């Protein structure tokens, strides 16, 4: 099909041209004397993205799942108890990973469409007088349901209970897109991946660890090799790695971080919120609803849109791809067939999102869902128009209007 695929899944995301060009370099010697000129700067500036001054950042070849495994295995031991909420496919998979490593997971099951139940967490922590719970797992942004949880509120609940557990955050689809404050929120392990807000191909698991987490490394007994913090720390301090790193992705990461810092993180977060709100206005105009049950849960990086009874959301995504070359997210696990998803994170602007909204409208009409063509587009257009940033135009242009 002529033209470019319209990519609106919640990762991999669209890649900026500057990032693509940065990776178009000859392969290099990762033991070369000048290689640390690239890597040491990345370690330093990644801390700005995670908003940490005291934490240490690691870059592993892998995906977010590898980041989960690195966080768990380097800080916990088989038999340790962890507290986690399960409210979507990815929070479920993190629980599963912990269980496979022999951890005892105290699972709080929550309706899919809601987020971390801070009040229940507070009660469980207050009742744990012997401090058997060693870690709290929080999926900041549940990609399957389009739900964002309040990490700062979890930290307040932990502090209110006087509990010493470590706080682990899955920020794979939030960090570099949604506000995240590692030091301020007392996060001990934060996990991200290259293919979401960092706007890169899949291939880097980026993990930040607090000093408390690094201290836990010495007593952690989960088996580890490829994801071992110790091996990384011994070599990273000089700008090198214990095995062959993903050098081309690191060049792309350099360009990505430069773009994020040039735009300003607060501006990045505001842009994502504004673009997401346009999608939400479109969903409302269609007469449909989000999987997220309340506005406090709404995600600024992905919207999971419920289809009417009798229709299949996965058929919307499939037909959009086959007929219009538009990639939308499928519904996963418990919400398979009940929703389709529009990813709105990374390198995006107003007109790009209007493409996704228009394509979703056409596809829903094609399969018989009663939406008025143009209704969602118009709602998003009006919102984007009213909230567009002011532009100083040349006097000649302004006079002609």
Give the domain CATH number at 75.
Answer: 3.40.640.10
Q: Are residues 237 and 103 in the same domain?
A: yes
Instruction: Say if 151 falls within a structural domain.
Output: yes
Peptide bond into 270 cis (omega under 30): no
Q: Of 194, 193, 174, 196, which is closest to residue 185 (Cα–Cα)?
A: 174
Q: Are residues 124 and 254 in the same domain?
A: yes
Domain residues for 357?
Answer: 6-11+265-387
Last residue of a domain, one of 214, 231, 262: 262
Q: Which CATH number covers residue 325?
A: 3.90.1150.10
Instruction: Say if 256 falls within a structural domain.
Output: yes
Report the alpha-carbon distance of residue 285 to residue 293 in Å, rounded: 17
How sure is the predictor about 380, in pLDDT bands with cuts at 50, 70 and 90?
very high
Q: Are residues 363 and 316 in the same domain?
A: yes
Long-range contacts formed by 390-393: CB under 8 A, 24+ apart = none
Q: Are residues 199 and 154 in the same domain?
A: yes
- Counted domains in the chain: 2
Output the pLDDT for position 2: 85
Output the pLDDT for position 400: 52
Q: Are residues 346 and 201 in the same domain?
A: no
Last residue of a domain, one of 212, 243, 262: 262
Q: Of 206, 217, 191, which is closest to residue 245 (Cα–Cα)?
A: 206
pLDDT tens for residues 39-67?
A: 999 999 999 999 999 999 999 999 999 99
Last residue of a domain, one of 218, 243, 262: 262
Residues 6+ apart with CB under 8 A from 30: 240, 241, 244, 245, 247
Output the pLDDT for position 393: 63
Task: Count how many Cα atoms sit within 13 Å of the Cα of residue 194 in the half-sphere of its side chain.
Answer: 25
Residues 171-188 have a mean pLDDT of 98
In the predicted structure, residue 180 carries a pLDDT above the cut 60: yes
Q: What is the average pLDDT value for the chain, to the nearest integer?
A: 97
Cβ(134)–Cβ(166) under 8 Å? yes
Q: Are residues 238 and 284 in the same domain?
A: no
Residues 117-132 have a mean pLDDT of 98
Cβ(342)–Cβ(277) under 8 Å? no
pLDDT tens for residues 206-263?
A: 999 999 999 999 999 999 999 999 999 999 999 999 999 999 999 999 999 999 999 9
Cβ(137)–Cβ(83) under 8 Å? yes
pLDDT tens for residues 302-346?
A: 999 999 999 999 999 999 999 999 999 999 999 999 999 999 999
pTM for the predicted model, two decimal places = 0.96
Question: What strands, in cross-sheet order, belong to the sheet with 302-306?
Answer: 289-290, 302-306, 339-343
Report the alpha-carbon distance of residue 65 to residue 87 in Å, rounded: 17
Neighbours of 331 (CB within 10 A): 25
Q: Are residues 71 and 199 in the same domain?
A: yes
Q: Are residues 190 and 305 in the same domain?
A: no
Output the pLDDT for position 71: 98
More confident residue, 393 or 258: 258
């Amino acid at each position: 099909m002529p033209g470019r695929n319209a990519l609106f899944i919640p990762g991999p995301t669209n890649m900026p041209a500057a990032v693509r060009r940065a990776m178009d370099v000859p392969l290099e010697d990762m033991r070369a004397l000048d290689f640390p000129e690239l890597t040491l700067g990345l370690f330093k500036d990644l801390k700005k993205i995670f908003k940490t001054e005291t934490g240490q950042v690691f870059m592993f070849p892998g995906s977010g799942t590898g980041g989960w495994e690195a966080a768990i295995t380097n800080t916990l031991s088989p038999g340790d108890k962890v507290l986690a909420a399960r409210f979507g496919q990815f929070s479920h998979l993190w629980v599963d990973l912990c269980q496979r490593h022999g951890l005892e997971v105290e699972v709080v099951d929550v309706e899919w469409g809601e987020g971390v139940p801070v009040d229940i967490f507070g009660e469980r922590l207050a009742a744990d007088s012997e401090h058997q719970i060693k870690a709290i797992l929080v999926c900041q942004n549940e990609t399957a349901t389009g739900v964002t949880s309040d990490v700062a509120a979890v930290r307040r609940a932990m502090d209110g209970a006087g509990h010493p557990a470590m706080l682990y955050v899955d920020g794979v689809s939030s960090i570099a897109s949604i506000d995240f404050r590692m030091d301020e929120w007392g996060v001990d392990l934060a996990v991200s991946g290259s293919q979401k807000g960092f706007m890169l191909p899949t291939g880097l698991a980026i993990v930040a660890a607090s000093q408390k987490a690094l201290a836990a490394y010495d007593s952690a007994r989960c088996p580890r090799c490829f994801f071992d913090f110790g091996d990384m720390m011994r070599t990273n301090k000089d700008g090198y790695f214990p095995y062959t790193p993903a050098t081309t992705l690191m060049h792309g990461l350099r360009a990505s971080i430069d773009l994020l810092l040039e735009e300003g993180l607060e501006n990045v977060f505001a842009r994502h919120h504004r673009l997401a709100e346009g999608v939400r206005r479109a969903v409302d105009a269609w007469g449909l609803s989000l999987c997220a049950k309340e506005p406090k849960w709404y995600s600024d990086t992905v919207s999971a849109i419920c289809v009417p009874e009798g229709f299949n959301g996965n058929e919307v995504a499939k037909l959009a791809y086959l007929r219009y070359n538009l990639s939308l997210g499928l519904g996963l696990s418990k919400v398979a067939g009940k929703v389709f998803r529009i990813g709105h994170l990374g390198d995006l602007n107003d007109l790009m999102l209007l493409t996704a909204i228009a394509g979703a409208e056409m596809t829903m009409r094609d399969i018989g869902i009663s939406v008025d063509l143009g209704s969602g587009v118009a709602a998003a257009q009006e919102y984007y128009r009213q909230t567009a940033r002011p532009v100083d135009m040349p006097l000649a242009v302004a006079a002609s209007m």
